[in-house]
Structure formats: C-alpha cells, structure tokens
Amino acid sequence: MPEAGGSQGQRFAVDRMLGRLARWLRVLGHDVAYGPHLGGRTLVACARREGRLLLTRDTRLRRDRQLPPHLFVASDHFREQLREVARAVPIGNAALLRRCLECNRELEDLPRERARDRVPPFVWATNERFLACPRCGRLYWPATHRASMVRELAALGLIEGSPQ
C-alpha cells in the first residue's frame, strides 16, 4: 500500500472508465492523471512511470504480474467508488478545491480585480476570492463551488461537514 501523501495528497492514475471518480478525486485536491488516452497498458505505464496509484475496473490487468500498486474498483457508482478508494488510502485531507477539475493543474490565486470582466456581475459582487487555472484559464470561486461539493463529500464521510 502506498504511503499517505503530504499536503499535496495522493497521486492517482485513473482508468478512462472512471470519469466521475477522477473528477471527485480532483475536487478533494489530489493529482489525478486521467483522460481518453489512459486505459489498459497506457494507464499502467503512466502509473508506473509517475509513481501513481492505479485505479481501474479493467480486470484483464490482473494478468499482469508486474502491475504497480493498484486498486481494482468494483462498483460502478461514483459514491461507492470513492468509499472503496477511501478504504484503501487516506483521501479526505488534501487541499479541497485547489485543483482544476478539467486539466488537473493546481489553481492560482487571481487578484479580485482581474476576475471582474470574466465572471457574471453577481458572482463578482458576492465573492471575495477567485482562483484561476494556469493552463486552461478556467475560473473558480470557492464559496460557490464549495457548498454543494462539501455537502456531498461530508455525506460520504470523507471530510468534516463544516464549509471553510
């Protein structure tokens, strides 16, 4: 079993069949390699090369005796999948909502003035803090994105219930 990650969280290589799981692991702040190109041998190679925990539903991979550290995910529902991962490694203590959900890059703080023309006026007026993805430019405003995601994760028992 891999060691617990530090503040950077766990590093995963997630099978392309597990899209929602990959996204939620990013919500929790983990470094998740995931994409349409990552399946089968390509995924295994990525996990091995980058020292990532392999998460897959592809049971054909069991034949590979050299398989790097891995977890076969049994459920096809993302909530149960998250629980399966949580039973194997600690996943609830990384940096919540500090990673782009689309491209996995860590978000950077964006001065509030620079968000002004890039979000709806109401959003700008009601949020103090904005984060931007250095790769795709997508903006995040934690207050809004947090509430529903925090509720979901707290309901799963992965994080404490209080927002912030």
Q: Which residues are at the interface with Zn ion (CB under 5 A)?
A: 100, 102-103, 133, 135-136, 138
Q: Between 64 and 108, name the residue whose CB sits nearer to Zn ion.
A: 108
Min CB(42)–Zn ion separation in Å:
22
Q: Between 73 and 133, name the residue whose CB sits nearer to Zn ion.
A: 133
Going by C-alpha positions, the residue among 159, 26, 153 that lies closest to residue 99 is 26
How many helices (H) and strands (E) in the chain? 6, 7
Min CB(134)–Zn ion separation in Å:
8
Q: Between 44 and 132, name the residue whose CB sits nearer to Zn ion.
A: 132
Min CB(94)–Zn ion separation in Å:
17
Residue 146, C-beta contacts closer than 8 angstroms, at least 6 positions apart: 96, 97, 163, 164
Q: CA torsion angle for 19, 79, 140, 31 (degrees, to 10)?
A: -60
Residue type, position 116, single letter: R
Min CB(7)–Zn ion separation in Å:
20
Q: Between 45 and 136, name the residue whose CB sits nearer to Zn ion.
A: 136
